[in-house]
Amino acid sequence: MDNNTCVQEKTDNSKKKTLWQFILFTLFSMVTTVVDFGTFSLFNYWIFTKLKDVSIQFWLFDYSIVNGGLCALLSFALSFIISQTFNFFIQRKATFKATNNVLKSAIMYAIMVLVVFFISLWLPTLIREPIVNLVGETWGDIIVKNINMTMSFAIQFPMNKWVIMRDSKTVQKHLTKSK
């Protein structure tokens, strides 16, 4: 077997592994979505409903009454935190089978999630009102939640795959070969 054939097989195997990880990431993200929607619904439609009339504005975040008030802020925030904690552990073990340092991985994940978190808290203040005006409050909240989750997914797969949840054995092999 010549060198080009070996390189081609490794490339094909790497592509298959990445595709399989993307499929698993998608499936486990769907489970995370159920956790996210479940906790969001619990908070937004039951636990914090009395807080819909409490307007809160700070920095870029405008959770006025028309944007769902304190109820929406707490519901979006807490459901995101719960679902992302769940997502970290399931993706780390089941999808990426990460062997790198769990503490470093958790810190990098937390930083990434904080960026996504602030975007997902800010985005509803820009888009919720016009969407709610088009489709009503319940469907508007669901659409906004879906937009947030899609944005989160688009950021998280590449960051988890190539930065946060690497297989330390594979990284070590690449470092050894490059010497």
Strand 56-58 versus strand 61-63 pairing type: antiparallel
CA distance 83 to 88: 9
79, part of any domain: yes
**For residue range 4-48, what is the model confidence (pLDDT) as tens digits?**
665 566 677 888 999 999 999 999 999 999 999 999 999 999 999
Q: What is the DSSP letter of 167?
A: -
* pLDDT score for 13: 85
Are 56 and 77 contacting, i.e. CB atoms less than 8 angstroms apart? no
173, part of any domain: no
What pLDDT band is residue 121 in, cutting at 50, 70 and 90? confident
32, part of any domain: yes
For 102, the token pair is 């769990």
CA distance 176 to 6: 18
What integer is the mean pLDDT of 41-68? 94
Domain that holds residue 82: 15-167
63, part of any domain: yes
* pLDDT score for 14: 86
* pLDDT score for 178: 59
**For residue range 134-156, what is the model confidence (pLDDT) as tens digits?**
999 999 999 998 999 899 899 99
CA nearest to 141, candidates 14, 37, 47: 37
Q: What percent of the chain has pLDDT over 70?
A: 88
CA nearest to 80, candidates 24, 123, 47, 118: 118
* pLDDT score for 61: 86
Q: Model-level pTM?
A: 0.74
Provide the number of structural domains found in the chain: 1
